[in-house]
Structure formats: C-alpha cells, structure tokens
Amino acid sequence: EAGVAQSPRYKIIEKRQSVAFWCNPISGHATLYWYQQILGQGPKLLIQFQNNGVVDDSQLPKDRFSAERLKGVDSTLKIQPAKLEDSAVYLCASSGTGTGNLEQYFGPGTRLTVT
C-alpha cells in the first residue's frame, strides 16, 4: 500500500513570498490533516478535512494560510505571504473515518525555510 505522498520535500523562500505544498493521502482515507512542526516541538494541527469539507481549522492563521481538498482526495496548503516564523516542517497525514483507534499515517513532510 502506498503511503502519504508530499511535495516538495524542501523549499526555501524569502519572507513575503508565497508557497504551496501538495499532499496525496492513502487511498480510501477520508480524513486528511495538515500539521506544522516547528523544530523541537510536537506537530500542531492546522486544518482537518473530512472528505472535501473542513471539520477543524481553529489553529489555521487564516490571514495568510489557506488549504483546500478538491474532490476529497489531494490537498494543497498555501502560505501567502510567508513570515520568518513560518519556517517549519509541514506534515500531511491521513486516516480512516470515525472515532477510536484511528492511526494517522504521516507523509515525509515539507521542510520550509523562510529567509
């Protein structure tokens, strides 16, 4: 079974520029998550999709971050404009539907450096 795919793996941009990340979840997984992981910290949930609907975006900085999941499969996360504090690894994860033991499978992440 193919895992969660993400691209690009690395990105370096200057502050105030824009950047987009792409994620393809495990086939059949209805739930997709975007996390931000700053060095030395645990992952922080930015947004959670159930199929193509948003179920939690309470920690997404909506003035600069946006995300979409068209057709309930692939997803993109965009930052516009980027700030220095956005330097982090952006992890995408997917899982099945429901509650309980729903292991989240993580992609390799995109390491973003904002200079």
Partner 1 sequence: GQNIDQPTEMTATEGAIVQINCTYQTSGFNGLFWYQQHAGEAPTFLSYNVLDGLEEKGRFSSFLSRSKGYSYLLLKELQMKDSASYLCAVSPFSGGYNKLIFGAGTRLAVHP
**Residues within the interface to partner 1 (CB under 8 A):** 31, 40-45, 48, 50, 55-56, 91, 95, 98-109
Rg of the chain taking only CA atoms, in angstroms: 13
Rounded to an integer, what distance in angstroms lies between the CA atom of residue 9 and that of residue 95? 21
Rounded to an integer, what distance in angstroms lies between the CA atom of residue 90 and that of residue 102? 21
Let me know if 105 is exposed, middle or buried by CB neighbors in 10 A (0-12, 13-18, 19+): middle
The nearer residue to partner 1, 27 or 58, going by C-beta atoms, is 58
Q: Taking the complex as a whole, how short is the minimal distance between the CB of residue 32 and partner 1, in angstroms?
A: 11
The nearer residue to partner 1, 25 or 109, going by C-beta atoms, is 109
The nearer residue to partner 1, 15 or 44, going by C-beta atoms, is 44
Q: Taking the complex as a whole, how short is the minimal distance between the CB of residue 41 and partner 1, in angstroms?
A: 5
